Amino acid sequence: MPPTASLTPLSTGLARASAGLNLCHENAQELFDKRPELDFIQIHPEHVLQEQGGVYRDQLDELRRYYNVILHGFGLSIGSSGPLDREYLLLVRQLLKEHPEAVFSDHFSWSSLSKHHFHDLIPLIQTEETIQYMVERIEETQDIIGSPILLENVSSYMRYKESNFSEIEFINEITKRSGCYVLLDINNIWGNAMNFKEDPWTELSRLRPESVRGYHMAGCTLEKVGAGSLYIDYHREAVHDEVWDLYEQALSLFGPWPTLLEWENNVPPLERTLQEVEKISKRLRPYSLGAEQ
């Protein structure tokens, strides 16, 4: 029996058909001042760990008391070769105790080497060896925090020759063997499909339906690169219409799950980002009466 089988089942006080906004330094003051109606906010445990004082930390602590919270990390580096940061994971465990409605998520990626953390989420070589390694690391992580985790599919601008699984096959094997779940970034599914000239609907439909437990929505930017162009996951503009369409298709496949709007660069006034959150809420409303809580 895998270690995850003895863990508390993934459960949240949030309604499945709920919409939230990412808390970042750029929107914290306005969010603190205006306190708009939101189903939840997303915070990064790294900020709790790193911000020892000051205005942002004071506002963060206040908003954590005011709103439902979910936890999303970017420094776990679960696919790296270095040991997991136990101090960090014990902080996550404590935050989960403080917020029974919360879940913790990170990424299918690595981002550190020899204690140096990069600012990029680097894709993994998709092989059987990597799958086995990821399963071991995920089980260790879940044992420490006492809960299943969600891992997000990442944006990618290259592919390794050594990979012999597709991205979706790779994710499916990991979730099946480890008991972790998928935080499905709709924009990354679409952007990767555009960059590699694939069909986003086909990629979406290959995911194990029972593995999806949350969604991220964000905007990506088309940039000229050499003789061609790429969609870059900058989170600095509104969600593309095609990504909204794919989100609706995801809802029909996997059902409603808490959905977050990410806009962390070139951050507009709060009123504008709330318009994007309302687009999420509008698409979730048909599910709100019949969705599981």
Q: In this predicted structure, what is the pLDDT of residue 76?
A: 92
> Which whole number is the average pLDDT over 260-277?
95
At residue 111 the predicted structure's pLDDT band, cuts being 50, 70 and 90, is confident
Distance CA 89, CA 185 (A): 23
Q: Which H, E and C letters describe 159-220, residue by residue?
A: CCCCCCCCHHHHHHHHHHHHCCEEEEEHHHHHHHHHHCCCCHHHHHHCCCHHHEEEEEECCC
For residue 2, being part of any structural domain is answered with no
pLDDT, one tens digit per residue, over 197-231 is 999 999 999 999 999 999 999 999 999 888 888 99
Task: Return the number of other C-beta atoms located less than 10 Å from residue 266's C-beta.
Answer: 12
Judge contact between 212 and 150, C-beta under 8 A: no
Q: How far apart are CA 103 and CA 100, in angstroms?
A: 8
Residue 11 has pLDDT above 80, yes or no: no
* Structural domain contains residue 3: no
Please tell me the predicted confidence (pLDDT) of residue 51: 65
Query: What residues pair up with 110 in beta bridges, in sequence order?
Result: 122
Instruction: Give the whole-angstrom CA distance, residue 256 versus residue 224.
Output: 35
Percentage of the chain modeled with pLDDT above 70: 90
What's the average model confidence in pLDDT over 47-59? 78
User: Is the model's pLDDT at 47 over the cut of 90?
Assistant: no
Nearest-angstrom CA–CA distance, 84 and 138: 10
Distance between CA atoms of residues 3 and 9, nearest Å: 12
Q: Looking at residue 140, what is its pLDDT?
A: 97
* Structure-block tokens of residue 77: 């580096």
* Rounded Cα distance, 236 and 136, in Å: 35
Residue 45 pLDDT: 92
Global pTM value: 0.93
* Count of domains observed in the chain: 1
> Are 195 and 228 in contact, with CB atoms under 8 Å apart?
no
In this prediction, residue 114 carries a pLDDT of 61
pLDDT score at 227 = 80
In a domain, 114, yes or no: yes
Q: How far apart are CA 231 and CA 221, in angstroms?
A: 5
5 found inside a domain = no
Per-residue pLDDT band for 3 (boundaries 50, 70, 90) equals very low
For residue 35, what is the domain's CATH number? Answer: 3.20.20.150
List the one residue out of 49, 46, 118 whose CA is nearest residue 79: 118
Q: Which domain holds residue 82?
A: 12-288
Alpha helices in the chain (DSSP H): 25-34, 45-50, 55-66, 86-98, 128-145, 167-178, 186-195, 200-205, 241-254, 270-288
Look at residue 2 in the predicted model and tell me its pLDDT: 40
Q: Decide if 293 is inside a domain.
A: no
Q: Do 24 and 268 contact (CB within 8 A), yes or no? A: no
* The pLDDT value given to residue 4: 41
Q: What percent of the chain has pLDDT over 90?
A: 74
pLDDT at 50: 66
> 289 or 231: whose pLDDT is higher?
231
Residue 155 lies in a domain: yes
Tokens of 34: 């205006």
Q: CA end-to-end span of the chain, whole Å?
A: 28
For the chain, give the number of residues: 293
Rounded mean pLDDT of 99-120? 82
Rounded CA separation 211/96 (Å): 21
Residue 76 is assigned to a structural domain of this protein: yes
pLDDT at 57 (0 to 100): 84
227/152: higher pLDDT: 152
| Mean pLDDT for all residues in the chain | 90
Q: Is residue 218 part of a domain?
A: yes
Interatomic CA distance for residues 133 and 69, integer angstroms: 30
CA 63 from centroid of its chain's CA atoms:
20
What integer pLDDT is reported at residue 48 of this predicted model?
A: 85
Q: Give me the amino acid identity at 46.
A: E
Higher pLDDT, 243 or 227: 243
pLDDT at 98 over 60: yes
The band of 55, judged by pLDDT with boundaries at 50, 70 and 90, is: confident
